[in-house]
Amino acid sequence: MINKKMEQAINNQINAEFYSAYLYLAMAADFESINLKGFAQWMRTQAMEEMTHGKKFYDFLMNRGGKVVLADIKAPPKSWKTPLVAFQDAYKHEEKVTSLINELVDLSIEIKDYATNAFLQWFVNEQVEEESSLNDIIHSMQLLDKNTAGLYQFDKELGLRLFVPPLGVTI
Ligand code: FEO
């Protein structure tokens, strides 16, 4: 049976992961509204990934005999000043998620919950990848600056991103 403090923390993390999906869907809708369909596709894919993250925590908590309690998901912003600002916000958000994952790891160590600690290692690695891919996009966009032809090309490039569910996770 999972420790009550950890149960609550994982329930909070489920909410944070689904909020991430909400945030990226809001960004996708904003990109779509200005016809940046490739950026929108990238964000839609990101949102799908976030739902699998939430689902991974959901399944894990149930497998450990915990009770999943779903809370309200707060509304994300509706629009962003520029595509660059949106990706910068996404990066900041991922830094926040990384710190939440790190807090969960700290808690697992504090209460000697080795099973949760092992489970969390997947997320520790995933956060490195998420921050890195957003960082790469931000740098590319900064290089493009006001080059609209380049931005259009980059939009096409990001639009090639497809969702691949992580092993063993279904939505
Ligand atoms: Fe699930 Fe982007 O953190």
**pLDDT, mean of residues 16-38:** 98
Rounded distance between C-alpha atoms, residue 112 and residue 167, angstroms: 27
* Predicted structure pTM score: 0.95
**Binding site membership of 54 for ligand 1 (Cβ less than 6 Å):** no
The larger pLDDT score, comparing residue 72 to residue 1, is at 72
Is the domain spanning 4-158 CATH 3.40.1160.10? The answer is: no
Rg (CA), the chain: 17
Could you tell me which residues come within 8 angstroms of residue 155 by beta carbon, excluding any fewer than 6 positions away? 36, 37, 38, 39
Ligand 1 pocket member 90 (CB < 6 A): no
Predicted pLDDT at 1: 86
Asked whether 20 lines ligand 1 (CB < 6 A), one says yes
Q: How far apart are CA 169 and CA 167, in angstroms?
A: 6
Residue 170 has pLDDT above 90, yes or no: no
What is the arithmetic mean of pLDDT over 131-143? 97
Task: Report pLDDT for 47.
Answer: 98
The verdict on the CB of residue 15 being under 6 Å from ligand 1 is no
Please give the residue that has the higher pLDDT: either 167 or 170.
Answer: 167
Among protein residues, the one whose CA lies closest to atom 1 of ligand 1: 50
C-alpha 170/C-alpha 117 separation (Å) is: 22
pLDDT, tens digit (0-9, with 9 covering 90-100), for 86-113: 999 999 999 999 999 999 999 999 999 9
| pLDDT beyond 90 at 168 | no
For residue 127, give the ligand 1 atom closest to its CA: 3
Percent of the chain residues topping a pLDDT of 70: 99
Given a cut of 80, whether residue 155 has pLDDT beyond it is: yes
- Please check the confidence at residue 37 and state whether its pLDDT lies above 80: yes
94 CA closest ligand 1 atom index: 2
* Ligand 1 contact, 50 CB (< 6 A): yes
Average pLDDT across the chain, whole number: 96
Question: pLDDT-based confidence at 171, cuts 50/70/90?
Answer: low
